[in-house]
Amino acid sequence: MLLLWGLAGLLWSLADHCAERAVERVRVASEQERVKRILAAQTAARNQVRRAAETQRRRLRLTDLNGAPISLSVEQIPAFQRSCCAELGLPAGSGWPRIRQQWRRMSLHWHPDHGGSTAAWIRKQRAYEALRLLSETRREHRASLAPLLTAHRPASRRWWSTVVARFRDSG
Protein backbone atom coordinates (compact mmCIF):
# COMPACT_ATOMS: atom_id res chain seq x y z
CA MET A 1 0.00 0.00 0.00
CA LEU A 2 2.80 2.33 0.87
CA LEU A 3 4.37 1.57 -2.48
CA LEU A 4 1.14 2.47 -4.26
CA TRP A 5 0.89 5.62 -2.20
CA GLY A 6 4.47 6.62 -3.16
CA LEU A 7 3.85 5.75 -6.80
CA ALA A 8 0.67 7.85 -6.83
CA GLY A 9 2.58 10.77 -5.28
CA LEU A 10 5.31 10.42 -7.89
CA LEU A 11 2.77 10.28 -10.71
CA TRP A 12 0.97 13.28 -9.24
CA SER A 13 4.18 15.36 -9.07
CA LEU A 14 5.10 14.27 -12.62
CA ALA A 15 1.65 15.30 -13.88
CA ASP A 16 1.90 18.57 -11.95
CA HIS A 17 5.35 19.26 -13.44
CA CYS A 18 4.09 18.50 -16.99
CA ALA A 19 1.06 20.71 -16.45
CA GLU A 20 3.27 23.57 -15.18
CA ARG A 21 5.53 23.23 -18.22
CA ALA A 22 2.52 23.19 -20.56
CA VAL A 23 1.08 26.27 -18.85
CA GLU A 24 4.49 28.00 -19.07
CA ARG A 25 4.73 27.17 -22.80
CA VAL A 26 1.24 28.57 -23.41
CA ARG A 27 2.12 31.69 -21.40
CA VAL A 28 5.35 32.23 -23.37
CA ALA A 29 3.55 31.65 -26.68
CA SER A 30 0.81 34.13 -25.79
CA GLU A 31 3.44 36.67 -24.69
CA GLN A 32 5.27 36.20 -28.00
CA GLU A 33 1.99 36.73 -29.88
CA ARG A 34 1.32 39.87 -27.86
CA VAL A 35 4.80 41.21 -28.65
CA LYS A 36 4.31 40.38 -32.35
CA ARG A 37 0.98 42.27 -32.38
CA ILE A 38 2.59 45.28 -30.67
CA LEU A 39 5.49 45.28 -33.13
CA ALA A 40 3.10 44.95 -36.08
CA ALA A 41 1.02 47.87 -34.76
CA GLN A 42 4.16 49.99 -34.28
CA THR A 43 5.38 49.14 -37.78
CA ALA A 44 1.99 50.01 -39.25
CA ALA A 45 1.96 53.32 -37.37
CA ARG A 46 5.50 54.14 -38.55
CA ASN A 47 4.57 53.30 -42.14
CA GLN A 48 1.46 55.46 -41.91
CA VAL A 49 3.50 58.40 -40.60
CA ARG A 50 6.11 57.82 -43.33
CA ARG A 51 3.40 57.73 -46.04
CA ALA A 52 1.80 60.89 -44.66
CA ALA A 53 5.18 62.64 -44.63
CA GLU A 54 5.87 61.46 -48.19
CA THR A 55 2.47 62.69 -49.35
CA GLN A 56 3.09 66.04 -47.68
CA ARG A 57 6.55 66.26 -49.27
CA ARG A 58 5.06 65.62 -52.72
CA ARG A 59 2.65 68.52 -52.28
CA LEU A 60 3.66 71.89 -53.64
CA ARG A 61 3.36 74.83 -51.26
CA LEU A 62 2.23 78.07 -52.88
CA THR A 63 0.18 81.17 -52.19
CA ASP A 64 -3.22 81.33 -53.82
CA LEU A 65 -4.48 84.42 -55.63
CA ASN A 66 -6.08 85.75 -52.43
CA GLY A 67 -2.84 85.46 -50.44
CA ALA A 68 -3.66 82.34 -48.44
CA PRO A 69 -1.02 79.61 -48.25
CA ILE A 70 -2.06 76.43 -50.08
CA SER A 71 -0.57 73.00 -50.52
CA LEU A 72 -1.31 71.42 -53.91
CA SER A 73 -1.12 67.77 -54.84
CA VAL A 74 0.03 66.72 -58.31
CA GLU A 75 -3.60 66.38 -59.42
CA GLN A 76 -4.53 69.91 -58.29
CA ILE A 77 -1.69 71.74 -60.04
CA PRO A 78 -3.25 71.93 -63.56
CA ALA A 79 -6.46 73.54 -62.26
CA PHE A 80 -4.46 76.07 -60.24
CA GLN A 81 -2.27 76.79 -63.27
CA ARG A 82 -5.38 77.40 -65.41
CA SER A 83 -6.77 79.85 -62.86
CA CYS A 84 -3.44 81.72 -62.76
CA CYS A 85 -3.34 81.90 -66.57
CA ALA A 86 -6.93 83.16 -66.62
CA GLU A 87 -6.00 85.85 -64.10
CA LEU A 88 -3.25 87.06 -66.46
CA GLY A 89 -5.54 86.84 -69.50
CA LEU A 90 -3.70 83.92 -71.09
CA PRO A 91 -4.96 80.68 -72.64
CA ALA A 92 -4.92 77.68 -70.30
CA GLY A 93 -1.86 75.83 -71.62
CA SER A 94 0.49 78.80 -71.98
CA GLY A 95 4.18 78.12 -71.64
CA TRP A 96 6.65 80.15 -69.63
CA PRO A 97 7.91 82.35 -72.55
CA ARG A 98 4.34 83.38 -73.34
CA ILE A 99 3.57 84.06 -69.67
CA ARG A 100 6.68 86.20 -69.27
CA GLN A 101 5.92 88.09 -72.47
CA GLN A 102 2.35 88.84 -71.36
CA TRP A 103 3.56 89.94 -67.92
CA ARG A 104 6.14 92.34 -69.38
CA ARG A 105 3.67 93.76 -71.84
CA MET A 106 0.78 94.26 -69.43
CA SER A 107 2.47 94.92 -66.06
CA LEU A 108 2.62 98.69 -66.61
CA HIS A 109 -1.03 98.69 -67.63
CA TRP A 110 -1.99 96.77 -64.46
CA HIS A 111 0.32 98.63 -62.05
CA PRO A 112 -1.37 100.91 -59.47
CA ASP A 113 1.02 103.79 -60.28
CA HIS A 114 -0.30 103.76 -63.84
CA GLY A 115 -4.01 103.73 -63.04
CA GLY A 116 -4.52 100.07 -62.16
CA SER A 117 -6.20 98.70 -59.06
CA THR A 118 -3.98 97.71 -56.15
CA ALA A 119 -6.00 94.57 -55.38
CA ALA A 120 -5.96 93.47 -59.03
CA TRP A 121 -2.20 94.15 -59.25
CA ILE A 122 -1.53 91.99 -56.19
CA ARG A 123 -3.67 89.14 -57.57
CA LYS A 124 -1.88 89.31 -60.93
CA GLN A 125 1.50 89.42 -59.24
CA ARG A 126 0.62 86.34 -57.15
CA ALA A 127 -0.55 84.54 -60.30
CA TYR A 128 2.70 85.41 -62.10
CA GLU A 129 4.85 84.27 -59.16
CA ALA A 130 2.91 81.00 -58.86
CA LEU A 131 3.35 80.30 -62.58
CA ARG A 132 7.07 81.12 -62.30
CA LEU A 133 7.42 78.70 -59.39
CA LEU A 134 5.50 75.98 -61.26
CA SER A 135 7.75 76.51 -64.28
CA GLU A 136 10.90 76.20 -62.14
CA THR A 137 9.54 73.06 -60.48
CA ARG A 138 8.79 71.54 -63.89
CA ARG A 139 12.33 72.43 -65.05
CA GLU A 140 13.82 70.74 -61.95
CA HIS A 141 11.77 67.60 -62.61
CA ARG A 142 12.96 67.57 -66.21
CA ALA A 143 16.58 67.90 -65.07
CA SER A 144 16.20 64.97 -62.66
CA LEU A 145 14.62 62.89 -65.44
CA ALA A 146 17.43 63.65 -67.92
CA PRO A 147 19.45 60.46 -67.24
CA LEU A 148 16.35 58.37 -67.86
CA LEU A 149 15.52 60.21 -71.06
CA THR A 150 18.96 59.91 -72.64
CA ALA A 151 19.32 56.20 -71.89
CA HIS A 152 16.78 54.88 -74.37
CA ARG A 153 14.09 56.53 -76.47
CA PRO A 154 11.51 54.18 -77.93
CA ALA A 155 9.70 55.15 -81.11
CA SER A 156 6.28 55.50 -79.47
CA ARG A 157 5.16 58.57 -77.49
CA ARG A 158 3.87 56.44 -74.61
CA TRP A 159 7.36 56.16 -73.17
CA TRP A 160 7.15 59.70 -71.76
CA SER A 161 3.97 58.99 -69.79
CA THR A 162 5.51 55.82 -68.34
CA VAL A 163 8.68 57.70 -67.33
CA VAL A 164 6.64 60.46 -65.69
CA ALA A 165 4.43 57.91 -63.93
CA ARG A 166 7.48 56.06 -62.61
CA PHE A 167 9.01 59.32 -61.43
CA ARG A 168 5.81 60.32 -59.60
CA ASP A 169 5.62 56.92 -57.91
CA SER A 170 9.25 57.06 -56.80
CA GLY A 171 8.80 60.39 -55.09
Rounded CA separation 135/65 (Å): 17
Q: Is residue 134 part of a domain?
A: yes
The predicted structure's pLDDT at residue 83: 93
Question: Residue-wise over 92-110: b if at least 16 C-beta within 10 A, else e?
Answer: eebeeeebeebbeeebeeb
Counted domains in the chain = 1
Q: Stretch 39-66: mean pLDDT, rounded?
A: 79
Q: Is residue 58 part of a domain?
A: no
The predicted structure's pLDDT at residue 150: 53
The predicted structure's pLDDT at residue 129: 92
pTM as predicted: 0.53
Rounded CA separation 99/85 (Å): 8
Q: Is residue 64 part of a domain?
A: no
Point out which residues pair with 63 in neighbouring strands.
Answer: 69
Q: Is residue 108 part of a domain?
A: yes
Q: Is residue 76 part of a domain?
A: no
Q: Is residue 101 part of a domain?
A: yes
Q: Is residue 171 part of a domain?
A: no
For the segment 55-90, what is each residue's pLDDT rounded down to a tens digit?
656 667 788 888 898 888 878 888 999 999 999 999
**Contacts for 138 with CB less than 8 Å, ≥ 6 apart:** none
Q: How many residues does the chain have?
A: 171
Q: Is residue 83 part of a domain?
A: no
Residue range(s) defining the domain that contains residue 101: 92-148
